Amino acid sequence: MRTPSVRGQVEPFHVMEVIKAATARAASHGDVILLCAGQPSTPAPAPVLAAAASAIGSSVLGYTEAVGIRPLRAAIATHYASDYGLDVDADEVVVTTGSSGAFLALFLAAFDAGDTVAMARPGYPAYRNTLQAMGCRVLELDCGPQSRYQPTVAMLEALPEPPAGLVVASPANPTGTILDPDELAAVARWCAANDCLLVSDEIYHGISYGRECASAWQTSRESVVVGSFSKYFSMTGWRLGWMLLPSWLVRPVELLLGNLAICAPAVAQAAAVAAFTPQARAELDSHVQRYAANRAILLDRLPELGVTTFAPPDGAFYAYCDIGHLTSDSRAWCAEVLAATGVALTPGVDFDTARGSQFMRLSFAGSTADVGAAVDRLAAYICSTPCG
């Protein structure tokens, strides 16, 4: 009998399981507060919605070029000029089906089976699972509070040999921590000097609370920058992302994109051109103000849950919390919390194969009222349980 390939036996993305359980709970109890999903609770900005309506009414919306429509690639290139002072050519930009589609094509184009690719632990699980499915060796760099959960040059220097690639995310998921510009620059220089492809996941840029977010391309155009319309731009389900690629990767990525998905969704591409307009940016910046208010509530009230150790949430919309005083099985604990309170949280095991069983991630991308109500429920639950 045929069995699934070894490649197909990837780890689950546990948050998807939590969302499934929360959906069932919502149907039976109607009281769910979702703090598990890493997505804005708002629609795309008004100019994007108008552009989408206009595209649907006036265009065939057939396949586009594999690398995306030129007006969108040009708009993304201009965004790097205005926000980062970088001179980017539209030909260096490829548009993808979410940043997830970018990682898939990039990993295939840049790495062979057996290559070693390093990433932070805790880190975004899909890098690890996708690379492993492709037969790459994933080297998890143990990143703790000393380095604000980010890889350092010292960690890379300590490796027996430079890896073929390094994936960094700043702001990161699940921690929200940011690599400061000089730290990112040092990592980028080390990678360039050691023939290691730096993949800089910058999809949470635009959502930060005081610390500067630098782009890897400000130091090294030999690196790959990954962006997305999912987070700051509030267009998660539109499935649109992009990459800035060094010239040697543009053609292989184009060939892979054409074969893997043909192109990113045409309606999303047409609409996203309007995401960079001042009107859209003002709307999006108001969401960031709400995230900042939600973050302030959490920082103020996490001690009520007994949580005193958490990664500094410099950016994105996550608080990654040590709940070792409450459980040594974060997956079971999150399931119990959902059953008792209706609050859906993500267990740390998604992000950290070593210590995730004593961590959980809270997303504060929702409404301020929901964040406050969730903390009320969690505090009441923890006070009522024996270890709380």
Contact residues for ligand PLP (CB under 6 A)? 38, 98-100, 124, 169, 173, 201, 203, 228, 230, 236, 241
Least Å distance between CB 60 and ligand PLP?
26
Q: Is 259 helix (H, G, I), strand (E, B) or coil?
A: helix
CB 314 within 8 A of CB 178: yes
Name 59's bridge partners.
none
Least Å distance between CB 171 and ligand PLP?
8
* Residue 222: C-alpha distances to residues 26, 80, 106, 150 (Å): 47, 16, 14, 21
Residue closer to ligand PLP (CB basis): 163 or 315: 315
Closest residue to ligand PLP, Cβ-based?
Answer: 98
Least Å distance between CB 98 and ligand PLP?
3
Which tokens sit at 331?
A: 């997956």
* Residue 44: C-alpha distances to residues 330, 361, 371 (Å): 33, 25, 21
Residue closest to 38 by CA, chosen among 309, 303, 237, 265: 237
Least Å distance between CB 351 and ligand PLP?
10
Residue closer to ligand PLP (CB basis): 39 or 277: 39
Residue closer to ligand PLP (CB basis): 230 or 357: 230
| Strand ordering across the sheet containing 318-322 | 318-322, 359-363, 346-347
Residue closer to ligand PLP (CB basis): 203 or 305: 203
Q: Is 59 helix (H, G, I), strand (E, B) or coil?
A: coil
CB 128 within 8 A of CB 138: yes
DSSP character string of 229-257: SSSTT--GGG--EEEE--HHHHHHHHHHH
Least Å distance between CB 140 and ligand PLP?
15
Residue closer to ligand PLP (CB basis): 265 or 327: 265
Least Å distance between CB 232 and ligand PLP?
11
Residue closer to ligand PLP (CB basis): 312 or 388: 312
Name 242's bridge partners.
95, 227
Residue type, 149: Y
Residue closer to ligand PLP (CB basis): 38 or 305: 38
Alpha carbon distance 266, 261 (integer Å): 12
Least Å distance between CB 168 and ligand PLP?
10
CB 230 within 8 A of CB 128: no
Residue closer to ligand PLP (CB basis): 219 or 228: 228
Burial class (CB in 10 A: 0-12, 13-18, 19+), 103: buried
CB 366 within 8 A of CB 318: no
CB 365 within 8 A of CB 232: no
Residue closer to ligand PLP (CB basis): 15 or 326: 15
Least Å distance between CB 346 and ligand PLP?
11
Alpha carbon distance 345, 21 (integer Å): 11
Residue closer to ligand PLP (CB basis): 32 or 167: 167
Least Å distance between CB 186 and ligand PLP?
21
Residue type, 361: R
Least Å distance between CB 327 and ligand PLP?
24
Burial class (CB in 10 A: 0-12, 13-18, 19+), 114: exposed
